[in-house]
Structure 1
């Protein structure tokens, strides 16, 4: 979209471009009759905007913007400025926060505003304009929707829509009215909503969810955040975040690859202490880095994956525990757990066939990781098992000369490379059991295997084909260790001393948390 020189047009008043400022825009809007439409014009574009006029033919000449409602509020002024930008990030800059703040400021009353680009020769018949304004939302190139479920039972709904034909926003409250606290909560959420929107609109995209993932349960019980954006290269990028009190899911589909995550706290009963959860999260982040390096994965995409994992786990930092938190799973039964919500997550990149001479050689990266916790029996006779596992499948081409970029063609002289194929698996399992409230079982098992096949070619001739593998497995009975720690803890309490139980267990978590490197599974 070409840079534009703004001028204010109404059905009655015209201002030269040199005199237009946001203040002039306000004055012009105030001076016109209530039925007048205020529009911001621009210099003629290099290409036709492709909007049909009332006669059914494409218009030509100068382009102007017709506004759905005359407005002098912050939101409308923000839109007047944003619509002159050429990039999605610039058009959405500040717009999400302004929309959320204005919805809160007017007590939740419905908001609808749009700026429609039309040719100056196009008739401004109200019905036709209404249809075109509706199409701004229906056929937007970039769209963002945000829904909040409130504790009072109402639903807050926002929408932002962008295309070369204009810009539109909507906001409303359905199914009730917002309380004063909920309105205040919307205002406080505005910056986080805008930050998340800015992160998604930047290239490459980033995840900056902020307070969106830390909803105050006294005000909000869930949210849905969806975005469909077009990158500078014309590719589609989609994002979806959904959360309620105990579950949450995130999916990002970008040109570089896809990230998916789902979490379930089983009603909050799985959640351990902050130190316990942080140790588990830190261990997983280490595993993610190792997978990216071993499988030659996309570093920027793995950063997104890690950011999503870290931020979605931070939801539980201040999450309320259920009333029966210590009876469903007592403190002792949680000692060998991660303290995190159960989850499954994956990171995949599109398959690419970069070698025309050998199209069966595919460049790819596919990583999955999960945690599942199962429970049998009641509090007195409890059996608990937590399983963690990961799988990495990756393949890629590598130049024999690190200083020369690999460019494979049908010419055999270009065929100097190594082709890597990696297949790794890892798992861990912990079990703990009680009979008549007495600890009778505490075991941990770790297993990891790695395999890599490397074929080396010089001028298209196979020089070597080597496969290396490593594996390790270890099972441990931790019952005596836990019994000793628990006895020491009871003695400390009798003497009025502080408990060291969690710190003692914390120092040994490497014995049962997931470990993908066989060399790091101790004998």
Structure 2
């Protein structure tokens, strides 16, 4: 920890109610949101005699001042001087991540450590105690965001933002090596996306704005980790984890409204299909997600997060380099009846609630899991099997009078409602096989089962208990269909006509992609 040294004062007159702005070059404005106060950068202490707000937005009227860890008048310190006085985490971190990353790149990767510690008494703080308190800003922060980036050369870039009622801290460093000019330029180019991700996570409700963070240049960067530990405005915890490398990627968000979780496995790109195939499969999955949310009365905003994460993490493969032999006809044809997406396992769930004090066993909830897994074997002949499956479990109470909010109490007069329970399952399995490089099997099995139980009560008396169940399954032999498409494609190539194979396959993909209802499994 750097000691605090006195330097020549650099006074900045503060305009009331000003908001810090960051230009495209990372230049921070020198205004601070503190009326009638003179802020001096480069000195040990910044006096705050007038009213200030804590990180929780509480008004502090006592005489306060900020002690800065590192003296100086650089852009980042000026930015932090303004940000530390903001009353919310989103306002404190607004623009700060981009400024930190940009300064690390501009400084050639030199270590950065800066903090503003709120001191309430008028005495000069003891240096040892001060150092411990500055360390505590990071170790015991109420809100923190950390970022780790692994370079192709093996170095690790680490950044951290930390906020609490006691102050604001940042740090950045490069470990295990140094950054070359291209890596520094690449790091600077990520600053905007890093800030967008921070903005999305700290807003309420949160959103995923991952941008270029999920589309790293593999020639420069091979792995990424982004973690957030936050506290919402009503005091509830919210955590976020993002992991990316050349083989797997995962994301997890836990917050007051529920949990979003997913992981992907590209198997080195061997499963990835054409852009048209991937777009068709992605659109089909997003439709399945919407249908699950509507059927199970799930949280629309949380499902929006789920869809956004699924789309953005799949976009990682948009420019994925295929395997060296992936252009061979055998490999190309083996992917035609697959989704074209990386294998994944994803889930979304909401906290369980018990709104009926007379029947606590009637719990409301929403849980949806969806996955894709692919097995490839070559002993003795090539075989590929891809399974897609989904499960929906949900329950909710619905008032008998749609014009009135349902308010259940221990009074039987309030017990007028329907209680819905849903348990749905669907799956689709594609099987492909070859013998001596000739395709001998191209079959698909689709199945969907929907179960709903509805119990109706009036003044606490059960009027009905009804099961609404549907089920459908379909087995298809698509070898003839695929053979026709491939024959037409060969003929198009022979006469010099543009191939329509990928578009035709995408149009027919409903026959082998996951379908959640009986009506969508075409006969």
Do the structures match in fold with TM over 0.5? yes
**1:239 aligned onto 2:240:** yes
Alignment of 1:410-449 (within 5 A): 410-449=410-449
- For the 8 Å contact 2:416–2:457, the answer to whether it is kept is yes
Which of 37, 43, 48 is equivalent to 2:44? 37
Q: Which residue of 1 aligns with 2:361?
A: 360
Distance 1:154 1:11, change over 3 A: closer
Alignment of 1:7-22 (within 5 A): none
State the distance in 1 between where 2:267 and 2:211 align: 24
Q: Secondary structure at the match of 1:337?
A: coil
- For the 8 Å contact 2:275–2:318, the answer to whether it is kept is yes
Once the two structures are overlaid, the 10-residue window that deviates more, 282-291 or 394-403, is: 394-403
Distance 1:16 1:314, change over 3 A: closer
Q: Secondary structure at the match of 2:468?
A: strand
Q: Which residue of 1 aligns with 2:479?
A: 479
Once the two structures are overlaid, the 10-residue window that deviates more, 478-487 or 139-148, is: 478-487
Please state how far the C-alpha of 1:120 moved relative to its aligned partner: 2.6
State the distance in 2 between where 1:250 and 1:274 align: 23
Please state how far the C-alpha of 1:43 moved relative to its aligned partner: 2.6
**1:155 aligned onto 2:156:** yes
Distance 1:386 1:46, change over 3 A: closer
Please state how far the C-alpha of 1:23 moved relative to its aligned partner: 5.3
- For the 8 Å contact 1:29–1:71, the answer to whether it is kept is no
State the distance in 1 between where 2:12 and 2:303 align: 51
- For the 8 Å contact 1:45–1:62, the answer to whether it is kept is no
Distance 1:335 1:11, change over 3 A: closer
Q: Secondary structure at the match of 2:345?
A: strand
Q: Secondary structure at the match of 1:140?
A: coil
CA RMSD of aligned residues (A): 2.5
- For the 8 Å contact 2:225–2:244, the answer to whether it is kept is yes
Q: Secondary structure at the match of 1:507?
A: helix
Which ranges of structure 1 fall in alignment gaps of 5 or more residues? 1-9, 50-59
State the distance in 2 between where 1:328 and 1:125 align: 73
**1:508 aligned onto 2:515:** no
Distance 1:476 1:24, change over 3 A: closer
Q: Secondary structure at the match of 1:177?
A: coil
Alignment of 1:214-363 (within 5 A): 214-326=215-327, 330-363=331-364
Q: Secondary structure at the match of 1:323?
A: coil
**So what's the TM-score if we normalise by structure 2?**
0.91
Task: Describe the superposition over 1:92-147 as per-residue Cα deviations: whole angstroms up to 9, x where unpaired.
Answer: 00000000000000000000000000113344111110000000001000000000
State the distance in 2 between where 1:147 and 1:313 align: 21
- For the 8 Å contact 1:269–1:329, the answer to whether it is kept is no
- Aligned residue pairs, count: 499
Once the two structures are overlaid, the 10-residue window that deviates more, 83-92 or 485-494, is: 485-494
Task: Describe the superposition over 1:162-197 as per-residue Cα deviations: whole angstroms up to 9, x where unpaired.
Answer: 000000000000011101111111111111100010
Q: Which residue of 2 aligns with 1:115?
A: 116
Q: Secondary structure at the match of 2:491?
A: helix
- For the 8 Å contact 2:30–2:78, the answer to whether it is kept is no
Please state how far the C-alpha of 1:72 moved relative to its aligned partner: 1.2
State the distance in 1 between where 2:283 and 2:130 align: 55
**So what's the TM-score if we normalise by structure 1?**
0.91
Distance 1:216 1:13, change over 3 A: closer
Distance 1:113 1:459, change over 3 A: same
Q: Which residue of 2 aligns with 1:3?
A: none
